[in-house]
Chain A
Amino acid sequence: QKEVEQDPGPLSVPEGAIVSLNCTYSNSAFQYFMWYRQYSRKGPELLMYTYSSGNKEDGRFTAQVDKSSKYISLFIRDSQPSDSATYLCALDSGAGSYQLTFGKGTKLSVIP
């Protein structure tokens, strides 16, 4: 079983829709959870950063972590064409070697 599973999509939604992106993981040692956004032919950029279970909101974006289920989500409200990108979850145990474990990413297209 891979450490982090993420549906690659592609996911296509109309402008204004609510988008739900998800990752599951197997290692209970992960303590820090991140979402990166990667535009085509660009490097990833950090979008959201959360620690432990619960929700974190930033504008139209909400990150949700359920450690008991080993499940993390990113919700995008009122999606815009500019949100079209690949979204990668990244997890960190926070102990020992400083390494992020990335999901493979979900490609999202928001259609005007």
Chain B
Amino acid sequence: DAGVIQSPRHEVTEMGQEVTLRCKPISGHDYLFWYRQTMMRGLELLIYFNNNVPIDDSGMPEDRFSAKMPNASFSTLKIQPSEPRDSAVYFCASSLNRGQTQYFGPGTRLLVL
């Protein structure tokens, strides 16, 4: 298996622009997680899905952030409008079952100017 796939790997945008991050989980995994990593705050869970349904979005920082999972093989994290403080590495992870190992993608490095 190719593992968790994320795109783009790098994104540079200007403040106010819409940003869409994409994730393809490992085939057969029921759980999908979106994380954000910064030097100041470390790795933070933003939202997670089970069988394509959002379960807990309490980590989403504000209404500018939204996430969808239209099917079992694709998820998006959207930021609209983006702000410089959104600059971070965004990771997607998936797991087979609750309590199982989470497999992380390579991340998307986002820089908002």
Residue numbers of A with Cβ under 8 A of B are 32, 41-46, 49, 88, 92, 94, 97-100, 102-105
Contacts A43-B93, A43-B104 given; indicate if A102 touches B43 (C-beta within 8 A).
yes
Distance, CA A62 to CA B101, complexed state (A): 18
A97 touches B43 (CB 8 A): no
Residues of B within 8 A of A (CB): 4, 31, 41-45, 48, 55-56, 58-59, 91, 93, 98-99, 101-107
In the complex, A61 Cα to B48 Cα: how many Å? 30
- Nearest-Cβ distance from residue B19 to partner chain A, whole angstroms: 19
Closest to B38 in A: A104
Residues of B within 8 A of A98 (CB): 31, 48, 55-56, 98-99
A94 to B98, CA, bound (A): 9
Number of A-B pairs whose CB atoms are under 8 Å? Answer: 48
B45 to chain A, nearest CB (A): 5
Which of B31, B99, B106 has most A Cβ within 10 Å?
B99
Report the nearest B residue to A43, measured CB to CB. B104
Contact yes or no, A43 B99, CB < 8 A: no
- Which single member of A42, A44, A100 contacts B45 (CB below 8 Å)? A100
Shortest CB distance A80–B (Å): 22
CB distance from A50 to the nearest CB of B (A): 13
With A and B bound together, what is the CA distance between A102 and B48 in angstroms? 15
Q: Are B105 and A43 in contact (CB under 8 A)?
A: yes
List of A residues within 8 angstroms of B44 by Cβ: 102
The 9 A-B residue pairs with the shortest CB-CB distance in the complex, in nearest-first order: A43-B104, A104-B42, A102-B43, A46-B101, A97-B56, A44-B104, A98-B98, A99-B45, A43-B91
